[in-house]
Amino acid sequence: MENFTAYNPTQLHFGKNVIEKLPDALQNTGKNILLISGQGSVKKYGYYDQVVQKLKEAGKNIIEFSGIKPNPVVNDAEKAVKLAQKNQVDAIVGLGGGSVIDTAKMVNMAYANNLPVWKIMKREVQPVKKIPLFVVLTLAATGTEMNGAAVLQNHRTQEKIGYFSPLMYPDVSFLDPTYTLSVPKNQTINGIIDLIAHSLEAFFSGGVAPLSDRFVAANILETFDYAPALLNDLKNYDLRARMMWTATIAENGTTMHGRATAGDWGTHSLAHHISLLWDTPHGQTLSVMFPAWMKAMHPKIESRLQQLGYLLTGKHIKPDETISIFEEFFDKIGAPIRFEQLGLNAQDKQKLLNLWLKNKPSGMNVTLDEKDYHKIISYL
């Protein structure tokens, strides 16, 4: 096992009506709150009203920035920073899914340090402070509610990249599975894929970390267990709760301790280019990319595929059979597993390849070169 530092400062409230705890959590923050949300679902389903009521109970002034789009863009984050500056906000509340929360994290860094968002993300400048960040999550998928990561895209530079800082862990997160009962089936499928993909990114890191491997397998097996039932019963609180917690665990550090790299993330980097080019939902890019990556990288990850197969089935299965477990599961739950199922064609594959050749996405453990890109494209 490699040396590691376990660190997760986020206080997370989980369960029915946890929003009741919001006023207490805000007690020691200033008056002006920047409330960031997406394109309207939180208003449609009543979560916005509940949060606003709690903010008012706490005696806060609300400065609102809404309209964050899925696959969030750096320009919106910059606009929100301007609003924060104009109103001298004291804290940020992010209300929504990963796109909203990631934007809230970057707005926090840029505002608190008076730095441009994209320069921070490109690591040209380094933030050193933050203001308090509170998260009310409405979608189980990314794990952003309990980690220090954010992902934004920039159409000017043709990049979608992640940024991590210990300053970006939310101070307090509120996870009420009731808030996810309204998530439509396709978006629920996307969330299931994303949390499995995060578990796999952890598994394909370097180093030997058997307990972390078992956490990965447990999280995946738990997901295989509830997912089919949930997709037939979207309003089931207990199944939604199981999904919400697996999504958090998949990317809050639990699966990473003792590894040589904090995840591989090659598949995510490759898949982000599909979102960048065609605005494809994050989950769908991953159900297409992960099987292709595993097939193409088979020689480099053969023993890991065998180990994962054993942890998942208790049997010594072949690496190909491990890959099939995921491909068949994604297919069974109605996720796309081939590039064409995203409504894209051979010309689009070439566009994707060209962008990979320009941006050179790679993994932290399984590094990728030009030959690999061609191989992965052939399996898409």
- Site residues (CB under 6 A) for ligand NZQ? 38-42, 45, 70-72, 96-100, 102, 138-139, 141-144, 147, 149-151, 179-180, 182-183, 187, 190-191, 194, 251, 268, 282
Partner in contact with 246, chosen from ligand NZQ, Zn ion, none, beta carbon below 5 to 8 Å by kind: none
Nearer to ligand NZQ, 135 or 309 (CB): 135
Burial class (CB in 10 A: 0-12, 13-18, 19+), 377: middle
The residue (of 179 and 293) whose beta carbon lies closer to ligand NZQ is 179
Residue 182 binding: pick among Zn ion, ligand NZQ, none (C-beta 5-8 Å cut-off by kind): ligand NZQ
Pair of tokens at residue 275: 């979102």
Closest separation between CB of residue 61 and ligand NZQ, Å? 23
Query: Contact, 343 vs 277, CB < 8 A?
Result: no
Using Cβ positions, the residue closest to Zn ion within the complex turns out to be 194
Answer yes or no: are the C-beta atoms of 89 and 131 closer than 8 Å: yes
311 binds, among ligand NZQ, Zn ion, none (CB under 5 to 8 A by kind): none
Identify what 102 binds: Zn ion, ligand NZQ, none; CB under 5 to 8 Å per kind.
ligand NZQ
| Shortest distance in whole angstroms from residue 278 CB to ligand NZQ | 14
Name the binder of 183 from ligand NZQ, Zn ion, none, CB < 5-8 A by kind: ligand NZQ
Judged by CB under 5 A, which of 145, 176, 194, 264 binds Zn ion?
194
3-state secondary structure 6-61: CCCCCEEEECCCHHHHHHHHCCCCCCEEEEEECCCHHHHCCHHHHHHHHHHHCCCE
Least Å distance, CB 76 to ligand NZQ, is 11
From the list ligand NZQ, Zn ion, none, pick the one residue 150 interacts with, judged by a Cβ distance below 5 to 8 Å according to partner type.
ligand NZQ
Q: Which of 212, 379, 193, 192 is nearest to 307 (CA)?
A: 212
Q: Which is nearer to ligand NZQ, 94 or 309 (CB)?
A: 94
Residue 208: CB atoms within 10 Å: 11
- Stretch binding Zn ion (CB under 5 A), from 128-136, 186-194, 271-279, 365-373: 186-194
CA angle in degrees (0–180, nearest 5) for 43-48-54: 160
Q: Quick one: angle between helices 282-313 and 210-231, nearest 10? A: 120
Q: How near is the Cβ of 315 to ligand NZQ at its closest, in Å?
A: 30
Least separation in angstroms between CB 113 and Zn ion: 26
Distance CA 378, CA 380 (A): 6
Q: What is the rounded CA–CA span in Å between residue 72 and residue 163? A: 14
